[in-house]
């Protein structure tokens, strides 16, 4: 059975992972998007491994985007037409996963590769692969610092840190062989970060001056999508669509460092969902613990955010679909 994982290249480094992922989500549901980082230069690679939710969606991606040229790169020799093809299906063996882990974690020492294979043999393929995916996700989100905060952990360091937490310190010590200092595999040490300059935080109350300056020269977006998750407060059927209302009040939750806290005022979302899509999910929302999940394009209209849905589902329906796809992959 053909897998739904695709190799895609070349991808312009100027495009963020979110921008690239959105391009493929225009065609179908993207389960995972992995574009490696070149640690020696801290820049994204020109290729990515993308897993679509279904084989049919993967084939549609190939049909519609193979040969695609990104806007602005029509005459570029470096970024020619997209090449897209299915990745080769591999057996779930310790050797295959160990080599894949060494590549994704940028671990080139032969003894480290042997150690990773040994870990798969001792811990098991599925559990090790789950830790690997978590490590790569954390690395993509900014990584982890060492305990004294002096530097960022390498991708391999993140993996071993998570593995130790997953299986316990005693078992971790049993699995790892006693390398002597000469043979001890060393992960590539990240360069220490220079001390950060302490700048005053951005004052959200004074954003007007910043906005006026920004609006003097307007940029352009290729794509901007919105996701709304919640329980509709009201549903009004219309010809061809239903209109639902969400509202949300920000209560000063966690925001990344440097990003101001949004104001604690309600934001109203008016969402337009195609009737055919609504008919498939309306009964699922009878469960008071389920939530509507809508993706689409948005505009500001009379003080509220209008979202024009391109897809609509619920949290429970999503989980059921992912479980079904996982079962198909496991049985293939």
| CATH class label, 5-86 | alpha beta
- Which of the residue ranges 83-87, 299-303, 324-328 would you say has the lowest mean pLDDT? 324-328
Please report the pLDDT score of residue 50 as a whole number: 92
**Dist CA 272 CA 275 (whole Å):** 9
Residue 273 φ then ψ, to 5°: -115, 130
Domain map (residue ranges) of the chain:
5-86, 94-175, 225-250+263-332
Please report the pLDDT score of residue 89 as a whole number: 56
Checking if the pLDDT of 237 tops 90, the result is yes
Which CATH topology does 225-250+263-332 take? OB fold (Dihydrolipoamide Acetyltransferase, E2P) (2.40.50)
Tokens matching residue 275 = 């009737």
Please report the pLDDT score of residue 258 as a whole number: 72
Closest among 177, 168, 36 to 116, alpha carbons compared: 177
Superfamily of domain covering 94-175:
PHAX RNA-binding domain (1.10.10.1440)
pLDDT digits 0-9 by tens, 156-203: 888 999 998 888 888 888 887 644 334 444 444 555 556 656 667 777
pLDDT digits 0-9 by tens, 239-296: 999 999 988 776 655 556 677 777 777 888 899 999 999 999 999 999 988 889 898 8
Please report the pLDDT score of residue 233 as a whole number: 81
Tokens matching residue 166 = 């997953």
Strand-pair partners of 306:
270, 299
**Dist CA 8 CA 126 (whole Å):** 25
Does the pTM surpass 0.75? The reply is no
């Amino acid at each position: 059975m053909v897998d739904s994982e695709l190799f895609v290249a070349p991808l312009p480094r100027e495009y963020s992972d979110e921008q690239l992922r959105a391009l493929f989500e225009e065609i179908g549901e993207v389960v995972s998007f992995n574009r490696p980082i070149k640690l020696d230069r801290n820049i994204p690679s020109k290729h990515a491994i993308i897993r679509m939710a279904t084989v049919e969606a993967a084939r549609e991606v190939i049909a519609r985007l193979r040969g695609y040229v990104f806007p602005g790169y029509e005459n570029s020799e470096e970024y020619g037409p997209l090449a897209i093809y299915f990745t080769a299906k591999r057996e779930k063996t310790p050797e295959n996963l160990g080599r894949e882990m060494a590549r994704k974690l940028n671990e080139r020492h032969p003894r480290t590769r042997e150690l990773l294979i040994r870990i798969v043999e001792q811990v098991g393929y599925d559990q090790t692969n789950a830790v690997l995916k978590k490590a790569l996700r954390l690395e993509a989100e900014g990584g982890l610092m060492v305990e004294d905060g002096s530097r960022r952990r390498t991708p391999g360091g993140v993996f071993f840190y998570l593995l130790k937490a997953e299986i316990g310190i005693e078992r971790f010590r049993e699995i790892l062989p006693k390398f002597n200092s000469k043979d001890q595999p060393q992960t590539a040490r990240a360069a220490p970060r220079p001390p950060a300059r302490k700048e005053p935080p951005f004052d959200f109350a004074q954003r007007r001056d910043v906005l006026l300056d920004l609006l003097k020269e307007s940029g352009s977006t290729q794509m901007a999508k919105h996701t709304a998750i919640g329980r509709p407060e009201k549903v009004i059927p219309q010809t061809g669509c239903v209109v639902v209302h969400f509202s949300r009040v920000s209560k000063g939750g966690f925001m990344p460092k440097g990003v101001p806290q949004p104001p604690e005022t309600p934001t109203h979302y008016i969402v337009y969902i195609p009737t055919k899509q609504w008919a498939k999910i309306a009964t699922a929302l009878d469960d008071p613990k389920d939530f509507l999940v809508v993706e689409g394009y948005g505009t500001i209209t009379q003080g509220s955010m209008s979202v024009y849905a391109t897809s609509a589902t619920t949290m429970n329906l999503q989980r059921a679909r992912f479980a079904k796809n996982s079962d198909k992959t496991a049985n293939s």
